[in-house]
C-alpha cells in the first residue's frame, strides 16, 4: 500500500480540494471498507472491531434505483458491483485507508430503530468524522461525487461538526459534474463469479496456470485458509484455498443444524483478515482440489498467496 502522502487516488483534486482539518480523536487502524459504512479496528486491541459510519453521508437515490433495476433483471444481484459508484466509493476508501492509521472523532451515536412501513430495522450506529493526514474522508468522497449529504431537520443537532464544509464540497461537486452528479452514463462493472461453479473454474484453471502469478484483491475471508478473491484484470471472483495447511473450521449452518466452531478458528480467521483482507496480493502455484475434499460445494483451485507491498 502506498503512503497517504503520495495521494494514490487523487484525493486532493485541484478543482475539488477538500479542506484539511485539525488532528484529533482516537488513533485507529482502518481494517475494512464497504463504501458505507467504514469498519475500523483499534491498533492496540485487534480483536475489538468497531463499525463507524461516516457522517453525514448517504448513497445517491439515482444509484440505488439503478441498482434495483439491475436486481430485477439479475437474480445474482451484487450491490458492490451493480449499484452505480458503490464500487468506486469502496475502492477510494480501500486504497486510501486500509492498513493506515486514521483519526476518528465520534459526532454522535444513533440509537437502534425498529422496522417501519417503508424502512428496515437498524442497530445502534456510531457516526463519526474520519481523517487521515488532516483530510476529512467524508469531504473527500463528496468532492469526488462518490457520496451525497443527508439533509437534517433544523431541530436535529445530531450532525457532523463539519457539516457546512461538506455542504460546500457537495455544491462544488454538483457544479463540476463529478461522479453521481455527472450527466455521463454510469460505470458498469460486469464481474463473473466463478467461485461456486466447478465447470467454469476448471475452464479458467489452465489460464491461471499459464499466467504463473496473478494479481487480486482479497474480498472476503471465510476462514484462516479460505478466501474469496477479486481479479481486476480478468473481472472475476474466485475462491482461494491456501495449500499445505488446515485451519480450524468456523461455525456454519449445516443441513442438520449449526456446526460448532473448532477451537482457535476465530483467532485463525482474524489473523488472516488482519494480514490480507481488502489488500492487493499475488497468488501462484495453481492446482485443483476435488470437490469431495472440501467441507462446502465451492471448489477452490488456487494455492499460494503473497500480499503486495
Residue-wise pLDDT tens for the chain (309 aa)?
333 333 333 334 444 444 444 445 566 666 666 655 555 554 434 445 666 677 666 654 444 455 455 444 545 788 888 889 999 999 999 999 888 888 988 888 888 888 877 677 778 888 889 999 999 999 999 999 999 988 877 777 788 888 899 999 999 999 999 999 999 998 888 888 887 777 787 788 788 778 778 899 999 999 999 899 999 988 889 888 887 888 898 888 888 888 888 999 999 999 999 899 999 998 876 665 544 333 344 444 445 566 665
DSSP letters of 88-134? HHHHHHHHHHTT-EEEEEEEEEEPPB---SSS--B--EEEEEEEETT
- CATH at 74: 2.40.50.90
Q: Put residue 256 in one of left, alpha, beta given phi > 0 → left and psi -120 to 50 → alpha.
A: alpha
Domain match, 199 and 132 both: no
Would 187 be classed as within a structural domain? no
Domain shared by 207 and 287, yes or no: yes
Query: Same domain for 148 and 205?
Result: no
In a domain, 214, yes or no: yes
Asked if residue 169 and residue 78 are part of one domain, the reply reads yes
Q: How many domains does the chain have?
A: 2
Residues 38 and 116 both lie in one domain = yes
- Domain span at residue 278 reads 192-307
Contacts of 234 (CB under 8 A, 6+ apart): 207, 214
Asked if residue 233 and residue 119 are part of one domain, the reply reads: no
Look up the pTM and report it: 0.74
Same domain, 204 and 177: no
Q: How far is residue 301's CA from residue 309's CA, in Å, rounded to a whole number?
A: 24
Amino acid at each position: 500500500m502506498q503512503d497517504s502522502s503520495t495521494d494514490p487516488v487523487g484525493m486532493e483534486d485541484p478543482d475539488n480540494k477538500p479542506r484539511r482539518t485539525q488532528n484529533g480523536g482516537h488513533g485507529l487502524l482502518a481494517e475494512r471498507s464497504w463504501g458505507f459504512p467504514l469498519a475500523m479496528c483499534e491498533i492496540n486491541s485487534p480483536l475489538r472491531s468497531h463499525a463507524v459510519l461516516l457522517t453525514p453521508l448517504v448513497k445517491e437515490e439515482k444509484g440505488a434505483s439503478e441498482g434495483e433495476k439491475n436486481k430485477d433483471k439479475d437474480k445474482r444481484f451484487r450491490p458492490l458491483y451493480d449499484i452505480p459508484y458503490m464500487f468506486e466509493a469502496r475502492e477510494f476508501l480501500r486504497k486510501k485507508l486500509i492498513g493506515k492509521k486514521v483519526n476518528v472523532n465520534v459526532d454522535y451515536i444513533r440509537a437502534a430503530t425498529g422496522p417501519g412501513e417503508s424502512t428496515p430495522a437498524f442497530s445502534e450506529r456510531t457516526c463519526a468524522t474520519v481523517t487521515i493526514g488532516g483530510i476529512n474522508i467524508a469531504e473527500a468522497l463528496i468532492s469526488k461525487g462518490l457520496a451525497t449529504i443527508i439533509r437534517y431537520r433544523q431541530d436535529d443537532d445530531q450532525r457532523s461538526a463539519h457539516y457546512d464544509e461538506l455542504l460546500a464540497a457537495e455544491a462544488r461537486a454538483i457544479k463540476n459534474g463529478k461522479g453521481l452528479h455527472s450527466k455521463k452514463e454510469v460505470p458498469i462493472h460486469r464481474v463473473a463469479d466463478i467461485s461456486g461453479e466447478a465447470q467454469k473454474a476448471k475452464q479458467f484453471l489452465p489460464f491461471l496456470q499459464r499466467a504463473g502469478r496473478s494479481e487480486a484483491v482479497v474480498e472476503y475471508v471465510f476462514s484462516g485458509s479460505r478466501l474469496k478473491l477479486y481479479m481486476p484484470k480478468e473481472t472475476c471472483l474466485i475462491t482461494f484455498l491456501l495449500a499445505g495447511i488446515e485451519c480450524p473450521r468456523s461455525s456454519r449452518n449445516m443441513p442438520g443444524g449449526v456446526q460448532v466452531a473448532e477451537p482457535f478458528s476465530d483467532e485463525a480467521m482474524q489473523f488472516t483478515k488482519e494480514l490480507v483482507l481488502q489488500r492487493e496480493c499475488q497468488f501462484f502455484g495453481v492446482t485443483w482440489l476435488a470437490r469431495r475434499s472440501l467441507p462446502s460445494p465451492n471448489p477452490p483451485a488456487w494455492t499460494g498467496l503473497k500480499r503486495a507491498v
